[in-house]
Amino acid sequence: MTAARSVTVVGSLNIDMLAHSERLPEPGETLVGERFVMTPGGKGANQAVAAARLGAHTVFLSRVGTRQYGSDLLQALEGEGIDCRAVHRDPQALPGIAVIMVASRDGENSIVYVPGSNAQLSAADVQAARAQLQASAVVVAQLEVPVPAIQAAFEIARAAGAVTVLNAAPALAVPAELLALSDWLVVNETEALLMAGGEVSMEVSAAAECLRARGPAQVLVSLGAKGALLCNAEGQVLLPAQAVKAVETVGAGDTLVGGLAAALAEGQGAQAAVRLGQAAAALAVSRPGVQDAMPRRAELGAAFAPR
């Protein structure tokens, strides 16, 4: 695999604890669950797995506590062919932990996330991985690791000519300096409205234009089953999602971002790159699991091929 196809993901690695019940509980309510599983997760790790399964040579840059679960989490990534040499291992810390409730009725979910060692990723850690970042075609980050680390990574990536992709999730304040370093900004509808400072009644299209004015050349707003809104200098286009029966939606956004990154690393154009991510996400949500549900490139047959 050549460097021209490489993707570096700067992000989080968690142990995900998923409890499944028919529906999500109301505040103060206790439900009897249907099943419980523990799996590797974290938005960064999820996006790295998605990119790797879709054909990108993928490097993971993170800080992982190995006091419990951490070594197993790294072995899972390495089993996907992901290069983990840029991961900083901390034997005194715990990895991130996400407690996730999933409704079997409609696949909806709610999540409580405890950052653990993810919160300790530093700009110095990133600088130590300069060579990997400089060899990348695309560098991706989310907001489950500290902003100074992301900013350092994007500065190195931009100087080397790489495409930078910021998935601004969870919904946190993003400094203007980081937005200015982001070639792509990927958010969901709620995140777009919050970042744009708009009211609930604000149109998503207006929010996307507002965000693009702050620096990113491409703003992608995922709209769930309605598809995704792509906003760039050529205007706005709604790219419809494939119609599928949702089984589990937890990893949909991460699969979209991973697919987008893999396609951009191949040199695909903006709309084609988004469509590859959408096709992968549609297949992923149609089956159970998060990383387990993420498809390999060969699985994107006629029904899920980018249009």
Residue recorded with tokens 């937890």: 250
Q: Does residue 303 register a pLDDT over 80?
A: no
Of residues 16, 83, 183, 254, which has the active-site annotation? 254
pLDDT classification of 19: cutoffs 50, 70, 90: very high
| pLDDT tens, position by position, 115-135 | 999 999 999 999 999 999 999
| pLDDT tens, position by position, 231-284 | 999 999 999 988 888 877 778 999 999 999 999 999 999 999 999 999 999 999
- Residue 28 and residue 244: Cα distance in Å, rounded? 33
Q: Does residue 299 register a pLDDT over 60?
A: yes
Share of the chain above pLDDT 90, in %: 78
**Size of the chain in residues:** 307
| pTM, full prediction | 0.90
Q: For residue 263, what is the enclosing H or E element?
A: helix 252-265
- Give the count of alpha carbons within 13 A of 214, CB side only: 19
Give catalytic status of residue 254 as yes or no: yes
